[in-house]
Structure 1
Amino acid sequence: MPAFPHSTSSTTTAIAVPPALSLPVIETGFPRQLHPYWPRLQENTRSWLLRQRLMSADKVAEHADGLCYTDLMAGYYIGASEEVLQAIADYSAWFFIWDDRHDRDIVHHRPAAWRRLRFRLHRAVGAPKEQLRHPDPLVAAFADSVLRLYAFLGPRWNARFERHFHAVIEAYDQEFRNRAQGVVPTVEDYLELRRLTFAHHIWTDLLEPSAGCELPDAVRKHPAYRRAALLSQEFAAWYNDLCSLPKEIAGDEVHNLGISLIHHQGLTIEEAIKDVRRRVEECISEFLVAERELLRFADTLADGSAAGRELSFAVKTIVANMRNWFSAVYWFHHESGRYRVDSWDDRSTPPYVDNEAGGEK
């Protein structure tokens, strides 16, 4: 069935999901929503990519809409103000482009370029104002998006985001070293690393400005909240692995749950796909249990005070968006040109990437 009764990009029609990737429970039980700001979000992010020089004009024209990066965010952070959603969408588009630069630096054996970028990003997340005019567009655009995100809540949230992103950078560095050395992590090591390279904490952090509320630690650290948040992110990471396995095998990747299962547990490709799919399906069923527990907890926060009612409402909004993440991720993988590896001229080289190191020949 189609994700929407109408197209969300100029090229999207009813999507035929391959049987190996089809999840009927998502298609029927997790109705997809789309933020009403989406058409302008797409247009504004496209303009931002050009203004920040993150993609060339011809690549923006040919690929930006079809990559569906704004669709993903517009299907997740429902209820966010337009300003918040725009900042998140621009940051998300940047994140995908950073991921591509990281990949190209590995493929083209550019450890020095990656090392420079790594340290520049560490500086930028801590002091974004100082990096707004950095000559590397990837650094300047990151500083721009982070500075906007830092305006919505307060210093405690900002410090948490900064701490979480420092960890993401270091996880990307570990992935760089693993791939450069041909090291396939064990399943356990991979799952731990994946929670960082997929930025589980970052996307969960961004649920708070979307709801217009910085959650107290007693809520964020409550077992029901942590469990629901983790399951929504694990689903996304593992479903991504399921969908991107052909692309990553073609690109000599070593970071994919399926690849770790093949390498360390002796599974065939078919067996690995079945195992990853089982984990994905378990995430869905376990989330449904965790969702009910978190909603019950949210009810207890409404203690009769205005602050309690507001906090309870914010948590329920966040729970609804955790649920939205399942459908947004699912349909993104079948709409986005990022995963249509069979249509690429070179299965190991995405047509939307720039193979140059940032500002360096």
Structure 2
Amino acid sequence: MTVPPSLALPVIEAEFPRELHPYWPKLQEKTRLWLLEKRLMPADKVEEHVDGLCYTDLMAGYYLGAPDEVMQAIADYSAWFFVWDDRHDRDVVHGRTGDWRRLRLRLHAALDAPRHHLHHPDPLVAGFADSMMRLYSFLPRTWNARFARHFHAVIDAYDREFRNRTEGYVPQVEEYLALRRLTFAHWIWTDLLEPSAGLEIPDAVRKHPAYRRPALLSQEFAAWYNDLCSLPKEIAGDEVHNLGISLITHEGLNLEEAVAEVRRRVDDCITEFLAVEQESLRFADDLADGTTHGKEVSVAMRACVGNMRNWFSSVYWFHHESGRYMVDSWDDRSTPPYVNNESAGEK
């Protein structure tokens, strides 16, 4: 795989070795079947595109050490998330304001009571409910409540993005960064480190800078690297949500300067992560206080920090392997070939 020089990050290639969860081949197969069973994508789109989109590769490179059933639930949920993101995009493109509003309200409801939405006529709602039932089964209700709180905020952020795109509003840089942490679902992917490690991390540990800082850096890297890779496509498509576009619109930068600034932020995330990673591992060691619980939390903390590291390489290679970003190969650069452009939501 050759990475374009403008997007190459030698430090990732050298210092962040990539691994895949050993369950990955089965994961890919089962997620493909789940998308068909839940009618989340047409059968022809699944057959032609899903493996090449590499959604399961992205998750299998992140949540190493997760039990197979946890890995499967996360992979299916991630595939659902991409399908939801595509529905959101098509609702914007086709001006389906009423469809989007109904979907948003139903997802809020399904998040709080997934069992009641398992047979919803909209496959996106039913598939989401199925994912939530499975994800909620691994850890205590306190974790479930936190996950739900975090995802309610993600749904609301997608609604703000819908309005911004409809109105052609480009957020200011700081406003964009705050919104991006939600639309990229920073804290959702971080929450899912815990069922992967088999333990709910106590609040005192989870909120400690030694845990929170590397978690945020790994997610910021992913969001900003995505912006870097997507910038030319999104400028061409009159998009409004990209760090580079906010810098050009509100900070007076030209395209070359905006690319350099986004890349600087990406590089800074890597450098700072490498600096705080060792502090985090020392903190994890200190949690082993001689008690059984202390040992369990210490082991889980080390597993979570290790997977925060894995996110860097998984995200990096995903952007160069997934058909989701190979815009130059699409027949129509404005319409991804893996989406059903017209029929989504209610007419």
Measured after TM superposition, the shift of residue 359 of structure 1 is 4.6
Aligned to 2:234: 248
Give the drift of 1:346: 1.0
Name the structure 1 match of 2:243: 257
Match of 1:147 among 112, 117, 133: 133
Contact 2:221/2:269, CA 8 A, preserved across alignment: yes
Equivalent position of 1:132 in the other structure: 118
TM-score, normalization: structure 2? Answer: 0.99
Instruction: Note if contact 2:157-2:179 (Cα within 8 Å) is conserved in structure 1.
Output: yes
Q: 2:335 is matched by which residue type in structure 1?
A: T
Cα distance in 1 for residues equivalent to 2:311 and 2:244: 22
Q: Is the 8 A contact 2:108 2:152 kept in 1?
A: yes
Q: Which residue of 2 aligns with 1:17?
A: 3
Partner of 1:292: 278
**Which residue of the partner structure matches residue 60 of structure 2?**
74
Give the one of 162, 171, 186 matched to 2:148.
162
User: What is the number of residues matched between the two proteins?
Assistant: 347
Q: How much does 1:250 deviate?
A: 2.8
Q: Distance in 2 between matches of 1:90 and 1:249?
A: 31
**Residues 324, 336 of structure 2: 8 Å contact kept:** yes
Q: Tell me which amino acid in the other structure corresponds to 1:326.
A: F
Deviations 1:234-271 (A, max 9, x none): 00000000111122223221000011111111211111
Find the residue that maps to 1:20 and give its secondary structure: coil
- Aligned twin of 1:53: 39
5 Å matches for 1:182-331? 182-331=168-317
Residue 335 (structure 1) aligns with: 321
CA RMSD of aligned residues (A): 0.8
- Offset, 1:337: 0.4
- 1:293 Cα deviation after fit: 1.2
CA–CA separation in structure 2 for the residues paired with 1:250 and 1:134: 37
Secondary structure at the aligned position of 1:267 is classed as coil
Q: Percent identity?
A: 76
| Residue 76 (structure 2) pairs with residue 90 (structure 1) | yes
Runs of 4+ in 1 over 4 A off after TM superposition: none
Q: Is the 8 A contact 1:242 1:273 kept in 2?
A: yes
- For structure 1, the 5+ residue unaligned runs are 1-14
Match of residue 16 from structure 2: 30
Q: Distance in 2 between matches of 1:108 and 1:251?
A: 14
Structure-1 separation of matches of 2:231 and 2:133: 34
- Asked if 1:117 is matched to 2:121, the reply is no
Tell me the distance in 2 between the aligned counterparts of 1:348 and 1:263: 22
**1:357, 1:170 → 2: CA distance?**
24
Q: Give distance in 2, aligned partners of 1:59 and 1:338.
A: 13
TM (norm. structure 1) is 0.95
**Pairing 1:354–2:340 present:** yes
Give the secondary-structure state (helix, strand or coil) at the position aligned to 2:6.
Answer: helix
Distance in 2, matches of 1:356 and 1:146, equals 27
Matching residue's letter, 2:295: R
Q: Is the 8 A contact 2:99 2:345 kept in 1?
A: no
Give 5+ residue unaligned stretches, structure 2. none
- Is the 8 Å Cα contact of residues 333 and 339 (structure 1) preserved in structure 2? yes
